[in-house]
Amino acid sequence: MSALRDSGDEKAYPLLLGSMALAVFLVVTAVAMLGPLLVDMAGAFGVTVPLAGQLVTAAAAVWGATALVAGPVSDAYGRKPVLLVGLCLLAAGSLGIGLAPTFAMAMGFSLLIGVGGGMVPPTCIALVGDLIGHSRQPRSIAVLTMQPGMSILLGVPLAAVLGDFAGWRVPFLALGLALLLPALLLLLLVPHRRPPAGRANLAGRMMRVAAFRVTWCMAGTNVLARGAWGAVLTFLPPYLILTYGLRTAEVGLPMAAVALWMTAAPLLAGRIGRMRRRLGVTAALLLAAAAPALGIFLPGWGTWFSGSAAGLFMLLVVPVTTVLSILVAENGGDSRGAFAGVISSSNWGGTAIGAAIGGALIAHFGYGALSFLLAGAVLASGLLMAFAVNERAMARLRDRFSAPPDEG
The predicted structure's pLDDT at residue 1: 43
Would the pLDDT of 89 be above 70? yes
pTM (two decimals): 0.72
The predicted structure's pLDDT at residue 25: 93
Q: What is the arithmetic mean of pLDDT over 171-194?
A: 88
- What are the residues whose beta carbons fall under 8 Å from the beta carbon of 364, sequence distance 6 or more? none
Q: What is the arithmetic mean of pLDDT over 42-62?
A: 82
CB 82 within 8 A of CB 20: no
pLDDT tens digits for 394-407? Answer: 777 677 666 554 44
Residue 390 burial by Cβ neighbours in a 10 Å radius (0-12, 13-18, 19+) = middle
The predicted structure's pLDDT at residue 306: 83
Question: With b meaning 16 or more CB within 10 Å and e meaning fewer, what string describes 129-141?
Answer: bbbbeeebbbbbb
The CATH superfamily label for domain 3-402 reads: MFS general substrate transporter like domains (1.20.1250.20)
pLDDT tens digits for 330-345? Answer: 766 666 777 777 787 7
Confidence of residue 91 (pLDDT cuts 50, 70, 90): very high
The predicted structure's pLDDT at residue 23: 93
DSSP 8-class letter at 251 = G
HSE-CB for 95 with a 13 A CA cutoff: 11
The predicted structure's pLDDT at residue 356: 79
Higher pLDDT, 8 or 313: 313
Confidence of residue 195 (pLDDT cuts 50, 70, 90): low
Would the pLDDT of 31 be above 90? no
